[in-house]
Amino acid sequence: MVKDEIKRELSPLLGKPLTFMFRAAGIQAFEFGQQRPAVNRKGEAVSKGDWRINARCDWSIRGPAGVIVSSADFGPGRERRDDSAAWFYEGLSRAEWRAVSLGACDDGQLAIELSGGFHVEFWFDPNNGDPNGEQWRFFREVREGTHPVVGLAGLERV
């Protein structure tokens, strides 16, 4: 079953903290694990986590009091409405929230339970604007071989 494959593929996240989030070209990135010095495509010094999920689908982060930040907080272009989540972003740098369990559905939906009662959730959105219907992909920052991608065709390795 697809949900079992998804959980197996993402199992390296268990125990790892969510340490950084950023948005680029309409994709929301969630980085897990230790942040390490790196150089981006522009030659600039940055840091990168050990593991990353790039999401094109709708997503949200919920805490015990409700939604903290979601894809709905980012409008067209560079418009942002996520100021109320600043305290959560600051906690990422302290590695406060670790992945403690994974949930998945056969259609590619994904939920990552974090410590402290927080959850990162990804919903399948066939109308997300990606021509291949890509929803999310998971990879090790130091890319080796193939990695899982969920899209209209289900779970594939690319």
Q: For each of the chain's 158 residues, which pLDDT tens digit applies?
A: 789 999 999 999 999 999 999 998 889 999 999 999 999 889 999 999 999 999 999 999 999 999 999 999 987 766 788 989 999 999 999 999 999 999 999 888 999 999 999 999 999 888 777 777 899 999 997 667 788 898 877 888 88
Query: Which stretches does DSSP call E strand in 25-98?
Result: 27-32, 36-39, 45-48, 51-55, 58-63, 66-70
Entry pTM:
0.91
**Residue 17's pLDDT is what?**
98
